[in-house]
């Protein structure tokens, strides 16, 4: 026999063995499970309602916050609201400053294009550099 034939015979034998063992295992499992379910249901049906154990669930409640804790929570919420309001105001001021700087830069650019004066060029460069700095 060649090596391949021996190898194939061993592989087929292993597969057949696993199938047979699986079938026997499933059969035993369901027989035991069925017996267990039957005996469990018999035991439960014979127990009277008064014999059933009582189950007590422990009562757990969250602690009630004290007046100081409530005051601290309110103070924290006020501080948070104030911080949000300040951030909104700062963002609005920055947008306003950017818009104003852009107008100034555009104005001096137009003036410099009109007259070509070195003084207008200096104003234009200062206004446009301020605008660029605000954008960063």
Structure confidence at residue 68 (pLDDT): 92
In a domain, 32, yes or no: yes
In a domain, 11, yes or no: yes
- Coil/strand/helix, residue 48: coil
User: What percent of the chain stands above pLDDT 90?
Assistant: 58
In a domain, 75, yes or no: no
Decide if 136 contacts 98 (C-beta within 8 A): no
Q: What are phi and psi of 117, to 5 degrees?
A: -75, 135
Residue range of the domain that includes 35: 1-47
In a domain, 9, yes or no: yes
Give the total number of structural domains in the chain.
2
Helix or strand (DSSP H, E) at 97: helix 67-115
* Distance from C-alpha of 8 to C-alpha of 30, rounded to nearest angstrom: 33
CA distances from 95 to 28, 32, 61, 98, 100 (A): 79, 78, 50, 5, 9
In a domain, 55, yes or no: no
In a domain, 63, yes or no: no
Prediction pTM value:
0.42
In a domain, 121, yes or no: yes
Structure confidence at residue 53 (pLDDT): 64
pLDDT < 70 stretches in the chain: 1, 35-53, 60
In a domain, 104, yes or no: yes
85-114 pLDDT tens trace: 999 999 999 999 999 999 999 999 999 999
Q: What angle do CA 14, 15, 20 make, to 5 degrees?
A: 95
């Amino acid at each position: 026999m060649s090596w391949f034939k021996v190898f194939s015979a061993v592989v087929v034998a292993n597969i057949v063995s696993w199938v047979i063992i699986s079938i026997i295992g499933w059969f035993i499992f369901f027989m035991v499970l069925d017996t267990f379910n039957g005996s469990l249901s018999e035991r439960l049906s014979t127990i009277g309602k008064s014999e059933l154990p009582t189950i007590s669930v422990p009562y757990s409640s969250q602690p009630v916050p004290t007046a100081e804790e409530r005051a601290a929570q309110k103070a924290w919420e006020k501080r948070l609201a104030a911080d949000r309001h300040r951030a909104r105001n700062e963002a609005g001021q920055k947008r306003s400053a950017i818009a104003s700087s852009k107008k100034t830069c555009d104005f001096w650019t137009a003036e410099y294009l009109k007259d070509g004066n070195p003084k207008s060029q200096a104003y234009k460069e200062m206004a446009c550099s301020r605008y660029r700095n605000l954008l960063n």
